[in-house]
Amino acid sequence: MRTFTTLAMIGLLSACKPAADKAPADADPVAPAVPEAKADGPNAATTAVSLDGEGLRFVDKASGKTSLLAFGVPRAQAETALANVAGREDDRSTNAECGAGPMEFTRYDAMTLNFQDGKFAGWFLGDEPGADIYSTMSGIAIGTARAKAKETVSIVDLEDSTLGEEFSIGTGDKVIGGMFAAPGDAAKIEALFAGVNCFFR
């Protein structure tokens, strides 16, 4: 959903700029620069972040011990915990018109933390630079093909979803949702999320 918002903003901004001179027909197109992901927090070398249906799980790379940053903790605690691995946040924003009610967001490269009433309420991981540092404990990540994901988890496709090729992993309060880029077993995951998100269904 953020991709659509970004494209709309780019369109609005470009409409405000004066028309540029046309490039020669034989000129090579120039791809826009893709920002590098940071992942430069003070604990980045020793701690991994695992996607979880109850929040985010921090994993000690040496011992394998885990600790859960659970939904419901204060915003400052959640932001500090992720910044220790992902580095400084990229931006903060708000949306008063989310389907789940007013929400606030803090983005770290591909990961967005969602907040309601000052509490950590959900997360959203998009197919953007920095997404590769996150996966579930079973190895599901952005870019995982449907056939590969089925080898380790039970994928439940959500029929008639307005979000596209939506699916879920897990049950009850521990569900991780996601979206495939297309139908079929070769399709790759392009988004993962859990908790409360700003979706309009």
Segments forming the whole domain that contains residue 182: 46-195
DSSP-based three-state secondary structure for 82: helix
Lowest mean pLDDT among 52-56, 77-81, 171-175: 171-175
- Of residues 89 and 34, more confidently modeled: 89
88 within some domain? yes
If pLDDT is split at 50, 70 and 90, which confidence band does 159 have? Answer: confident
Half-sphere exposure of 89 (CA within 13 A, CB side): 14
41 within some domain? no
What end-to-end distance do the CA atoms of the chain give, in Å?
A: 12
- The backbone torsions φ and ψ at residue 8, rounded to the nearest 5 degrees and listed phi first, read -65, -40
Please choose, from the candidates 181, 158, 169, the residue with its C-alpha nearest in 3D space to the C-alpha of residue 54: 169
pLDDT digits (tens, 9 = 90+) for 94-108: 999 998 999 999 999
Taking residues 188-196, report their average pLDDT. Answer: 97
169 within some domain? yes
| Average pLDDT over all residues of the chain | 85
153 within some domain? yes
Please choose, from the candidates 40, 45, 47, 49, the residue with its C-alpha nearest in 3D space to the C-alpha of residue 136: 49
31 within some domain? no
pLDDT digits (tens, 9 = 90+) for 127-147: 999 999 999 999 999 999 999
Q: Decide the pairing of beta strands 47-52 and 119-126.
A: unpaired
pLDDT for the residue 18: 37
85 within some domain? yes
- Of residues 110 and 23, more confidently modeled: 110
Q: What are the tokens at 85?
A: 């691995």
74 within some domain? yes
Please choose, from the candidates 122, 106, 125, 126, the residue with its C-alpha nearest in 3D space to the C-alpha of residue 173: 122
pLDDT for the residue 160: 81
2 within some domain? no
Provide the domain count of the chain: 1
Q: Is the pLDDT of residue 2 over 80?
A: no
